[in-house]
Every structure is written in structure tokens, then in C-alpha cells.
Amino acid sequence: MEIKILGTGCTRCDSLEKEVFNALAELDVAARVIKVKDIHKIMAYNVLATPGLVVNEKIKVSGRLPRRDEIKRFIREELDQ
């Protein structure tokens, strides 16, 4: 599983990264977590507002900080496929 945090380094982007790691730990799931800070790479996902969350190349959230239970649901959805 690959999870990308889209954002230029704002506080909300850092908070999202922490919540992703917490969710992964609670689910006992291993994943590659990548921070994408390059604005051109972020724009390639058609994300107009950060932070953005991409799980297995699927945009799950943009422009807001999702709750941990949402992040866990996104991870579970990808594990079930």
C-alpha cells in the first residue's frame, strides 16, 4: 500500500501525516508513506487545496484534514480490494 500526503509543508499537512501514521499503527498495517511537496506534482492530481490524501493513487480527501476514523476507513477500503 502506498499513501501520499499532498501539501507544501503547512501545519495541516504535518497533522495529516501524523494521523496517517497513527491510523496505520492502530490497524497494524504497513504502508509506504510519501510526502509530496512539489506543487506541480500536487497539481497533477487535480487537487486545488491542500492537504490532500491519496491512497493507492486514489484521491480520498483534498482541502481538509480528515478524522482518524476516516483515514482508517480509506485504508481498509484499499485493503479489501
From 1, 2, 10, 68, active-site residue: 10
How far is Cα 43 from Cα 62, in angstroms, rounded to an integer? 12
From 6, 13, 24, 47, active-site residue: 13
Which grid coordinates are listed for 6?
499532498
Is 29 considered catalytic here?
A: no
Is 10 considered catalytic here?
A: yes
Residues assigned a catalytic role: 10, 13
